[in-house]
């Protein structure tokens, strides 16, 4: 019998949102979790470099910083402001010791998705000098089409792969989140293409509940929904992916529960379903 392997288990700070980052670090570490992805709100009021050291002192790999993006805007001033915020995110990731920033790319009501995608590519291209200087990569995260109105004009892995190809930089890849992409009939083929581009930078897991009660904050724990997690993991590992499996769950329901019990459930669900 194989012992459960938690060496690639990462949890996002937002998953256990009620815990301050210091508590999350201690609890994750004690539970055998090896990676942490840090949401920027978890750093509010902290000195960033010492917080990074604290996480590493707990034996945690800092997998990524969430998040940058939101590039499109109706005005040039708006787009410049977005770039400034992304430059701050790159500086924060560098100070924290995070090698990657996940991008929620953005979309603007009243502007076509085609124009927003163009602005996203232009925005990412403008950041590449800072990325190189800071050794921080960017991962385009395609979002489920239900968010196309105001959160992301990138809604399929094919679109993200197209952008990666167009930008042609080793600093730009993809964050594959099963919540956003599990339904896509082209998923297996586009995962293989992403692998060929050496662009699969991150893998996020959770589950899709039926019915979904809230478009943002009703994600399920792995095993609670209909996402074929083992199937998708087989596809990503076929590309050679050996990075972390990151548990990213926004759930008003689960945040209201005892977080120590919830962490045990996360670890068990990871063992049984991821
Ligand atoms: Zn994600």
Task: Please give the pLDDT value at position 3.
Answer: 62
Report how far ligand 1's centroid is from the alpha carbon of 217 (Å): 13
Report how far ligand 1's centroid is from the alpha carbon of 29 (Å): 22
Report how far ligand 1's centroid is from the alpha carbon of 1 (Å): 32
> What span, in angstroms and rounded, lies between the C-alpha atoms of 83 and 89?
10
Report how far ligand 1's centroid is from the alpha carbon of 109 (Å): 22
Ranges under pLDDT 70 in the chain: 1-3
Task: Please give the pLDDT value at position 236.
Answer: 98
Report how far ligand 1's centroid is from the alpha carbon of 126 (Å): 23
Task: Please give the pLDDT value at position 2.
Answer: 57
pTM above 0.95, yes or no: yes
Cis peptide before 211 (omega within 30 of 0): yes
> What span, in angstroms and rounded, lies between the C-alpha atoms of 271 and 237?
17
Report how far ligand 1's centroid is from the alpha carbon of 250 (Å): 10
Antiparallel, parallel or unpaired: β 35-39 and 137-140: unpaired
- CATH level 2 (architecture), domain 6-273: Alpha-Beta Barrel (3.20)
Report how far ligand 1's centroid is from the alpha carbon of 118 (Å): 22
Cβ atoms of 157 and 196 closer than 8 Å: no
Task: Please give the pLDDT value at position 5.
Answer: 83
Sign of CA dihedral 188, 244, 207, 218: negative
Domains of the chain, residue spans: 6-273
Sign of CA dihedral 218, 220, 225, 231: positive
Rg (CA), the chain: 18
| Secondary structure of the chain in HEC code, one letter for each residue | CCCCCCCCEEEEHHHHCCCCHHHHHHHHHHCCCCEEEEEHHHHCCCCHHHHHHHHHHCCCEEEEEEEEECCCCCCHHHHHHHHHHHHHHHHHHHHHCCCEEEEECECCCCCCHHHHHHHHHHHHHHHHHHHHHHCCEEEECCCCHHHCCCCECCCCHHHHHHHHHHHCCCCEEEEEEHHHHCCCCCHHHHHHHHHHCCCEEEEEECECCCCCCCCCCECECCCCCCCCHHHHHHHHHHCCCCCCEEECCCEHHHHCCCHHHHHHHHHHHHHHHC
Instruction: Count CA atoms within 13 Å of residue 130 on its CB side.
Output: 20
Task: Please give the pLDDT value at position 160.
Answer: 98
Report how far ligand 1's centroid is from the alpha carbon of 141 (Å): 7
């Amino acid at each position: 019998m194989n012992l459960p392997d938690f060496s690639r288990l990462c949890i996002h700070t937002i998953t256990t949102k009620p815990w301050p980052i210091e508590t999350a670090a201690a609890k994750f570490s004690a539970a055998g979790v090896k990676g942490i992805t840090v949401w920027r709100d978890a750093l509010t009021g902290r000195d960033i470099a010492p917080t990074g050291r604290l996480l590493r002192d707990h034996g945690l790999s800092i997998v990524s910083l969430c998040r940058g993006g939101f590039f499109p805007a109706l005005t040039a001033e708006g787009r410049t402001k977005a770039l400034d915020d992304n430059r701050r995110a790159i500086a924060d990731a560098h100070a924290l010791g995070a090698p990657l920033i996940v991008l929620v790319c953005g979309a603007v009501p009243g502007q076509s998705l085609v124009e927003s995608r163009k602005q996203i590519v232009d925005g990412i291209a403008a950041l590449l000098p800072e990325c190189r200087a800071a050794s921080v990569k960017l991962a385009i995260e395609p979002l489920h089409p239900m968010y196309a109105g105001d959160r992301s004009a990138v809604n399929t892995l094919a679109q993200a792969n197209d952008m990666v190809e167009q930008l042609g930089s080793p600093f730009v890849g993809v964050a594959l989140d099963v919540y956003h992409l599990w339904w896509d009939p082209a998923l297996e083929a586009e995962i293989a293409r992403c692998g060929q581009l050496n662009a699969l930078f991150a893998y996020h897991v959770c589950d899709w509940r039926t019915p979904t009660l809230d478009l943002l904050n009703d994600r399920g724990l792995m095993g609670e929904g209909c996402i074929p997690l083992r199937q998708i993991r087989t596809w990503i590992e076929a590309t050679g992916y050996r990075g972390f499996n990151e548990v990213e769950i926004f759930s008003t329901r689960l945040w209201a529960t005892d977080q120590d019990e919830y962490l045990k459930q996360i670890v068990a669900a990871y063992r049984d379903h991821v």
